[in-house]
Amino acid sequence: MPSTKKFSQLRDDARRDPVRTRGIDQAKERATEEIASYRLAELRKALGITQAELAALVGKSQSAISQLEHGEIGLSLETLRSIIHQLGGEIEITAIFDGRRVLIDT
């Protein structure tokens, strides 16, 4: 009978291999970017703004906004700041260390 391992054991084993660690970190980064892109589209739609209107507000093409929303191009912090500012919002950047939150930037 094959032995079974807990997820934490598999994770720890994978983290011991530098190549697998890089792959895991890259996958997490891609997933985070995809989530941010999805949320950008969700926010835009909730505010009733078209991609073309948002593009005009931030000085980008409609195609660039579409690519951002679909995760085809990366969403830089400066682009995100510009978009949020033009929509009337603010950005807060918080670092979390062992459950402790530290405000980095607004």
Please list the helix, strand and coil fractions of the chain in percent, rounded to the nearest 5, in that order: 60, 10, 30
**What pLDDT score was predicted for residue 37?**
64
CATH fold of 7-79 = 434 Repressor (Amino-terminal Domain) (1.10.260)
Q: Which residue has better confidence, 57 or 10?
A: 57
Per residue in 32-75, pLDDT (tens digit) is 666 666 688 888 888 899 999 999 999 999 999 999 888 888 88
pLDDT bucket at 86, cuts 50 / 70 / 90: confident
**What pLDDT score was predicted for residue 55?**
94
Closest CA to 102 of 94, 93, 8: 94
